[in-house]
Structure formats: C-alpha cells, structure tokens
Amino acid sequence: MRTPGRPTTQQDEARKQRWENSYSNKDSSDLSWYQPHLELSLKLIERTGSGKAARIIDVGAGSSTLVDDLLMAGYRRVTALDISLKAIEGSKARLGAKAKHVTWIEGDIERVELPPAHFDIWHDRAVFHFLTSDEGRKRYVNVAKTSLKSDGHLIIGTFAQEGPTRCSGMDVIRYSAHSITAEFGEGFELVESAGETHRTPYDAEQKFMYFRFIRRH
C-alpha cells in the first residue's frame, strides 16, 4: 500500500531512486548493513514488555529479517515501511505465504501520514542517521510523536559517534545519547541505550548505538 502524504518534490524522488538502486544492484546479503538477524533489535523489542498483540512498525525495514523473526516470536500486528518498493518486494518474496500477516507500506517517512496514537513500538535500524536536513528530522520526529501511543516505545539504532561518517555514498549523522535525546526532545524519555559493533559483509567494523525511548505526554 502507498500512503497519502505531502506532495513529493524532485529531491524526494531522487532519494527514493537512490534507495531503489541500492536494492537493484546487490543481493540483500551483500548490502553493508546486512545482518542475518537483528538480534539486538529483537532483544530491545522484547524488553519493552509489550505483549504479542503490540502494534509494531519497522521504519525503513528494507529487506531485513526482523519481520520474519517478529512473526516467529508470535507478534501478530507488524507493519513494515520502506521508501523502496524493491526492498519490500524482496521481503515479501522471502516470507512467501507469511507475507500476508504483515502490513506493508511503501512510503517516505518524511512524507507519510500514519494513523495517530496507533503504534506501541516504533523500530528503526539505520534510517534516521541518513536524515541530514533539519526539516527532514523534524518531520520524522513529528510522525513518530503522532503515531506512537502514549507510553509507546521508540527503538532507534544509529551510527555511534565513533561510527562511519558516510554510508552507501551518503552523508550520515552520528549520535550519542545526548544528541539523540536533543533531536527527539520533550515527549520522549530515554530509558536505555546499548552499543553494537556491526561487521559488514566486507569485514569492516561499524559502531552503532541503539536507544530506547518511551513516549510521554
């Protein structure tokens, strides 16, 4: 499904095309961010203590196996959103008949409109750090703020301060607990953070930080 949102600009189209190209030019397991399973994300989702009926959205889900693992763990209200149709199609093909248990959204997180106070858990691994414009980050935070329920959880994995400055030919912003808290501002309480060293398929090390916030009104 494509969601209605703000009208797209040439810049938005270029952003979408860049990501479509990433998924067209390589197998999923050759992409620098590939992990067979998003172990730390799964652990942080479990640590929210939300039941299996929790509504979970994976923002910039790409072709990751998080949705497979969430279904396997018994979560039954999983949404996967990505700007790239190619990535979504790849995940659907991998899941086969199980794909119908996931709500799929082809959309740009800077543009989509999601239902208000709807999700219990928002998950993002390696998407927010690509948002280098103040305006784009403000829009992202606003969508998260609006679509998360009160006391819902926001789990976000970004490059750490010792992480790379660029990825896939694009600039990124690296975060600490202090700087990410400043981005999300009032309305989000940081409850835990954890570091991870990701080893890319090309054997390079990338330092990540994961943060879990609770949406407070």
Ligand X SMILES: C[S@@+](CC[C@H](N)C(=O)[O-])C[C@H]1O[C@@H](n2cnc3c(N)ncnc32)[C@H](O)[C@@H]1O
**Segment near ligand X (CB under 6 A), from 42-50, 89-97, 120-128, 196-204?**
120-128
| Position 125 contacts ligand X (CB under 6 A) | yes
| Position 110 contacts ligand X (CB under 6 A) | yes
Q: Which of 54, 67 has the CB closer to ligand X? A: 67
| Position 210 contacts ligand X (CB under 6 A) | no
Residues 127-166 that bind ligand X (CB under 6 A): 127, 130
| Position 106 contacts ligand X (CB under 6 A) | no
Q: State residue 125 phi and psi, 5-degree precision.
A: -115, 115
Which member of 54, 78, 83, 154 binds ligand X (CB under 6 A)?
A: 83
Beta-carbon-side half-sphere exposure of residue 107 (alpha carbons within 13 Å): 24
Pull the structure tokens for residue 10.
């040439």
CB 167 to ligand X: min, Å? 7
Number of Cβ within 10 Å of residue 172's Cβ equals 19
Which member of 48, 64, 79, 147 binds ligand X (CB under 6 A)?
A: 64
**Segment near ligand X (CB under 6 A), from 43-51, 103-111, 175-183, 190-198?**
103-111
Q: Which of 38, 56 has the CB closer to ligand X? A: 38
Question: For binding to ligand X (CB under 6 A), which residues are involved?
Answer: 19, 33, 38, 60-62, 64, 82-84, 87, 108-110, 125-127, 130
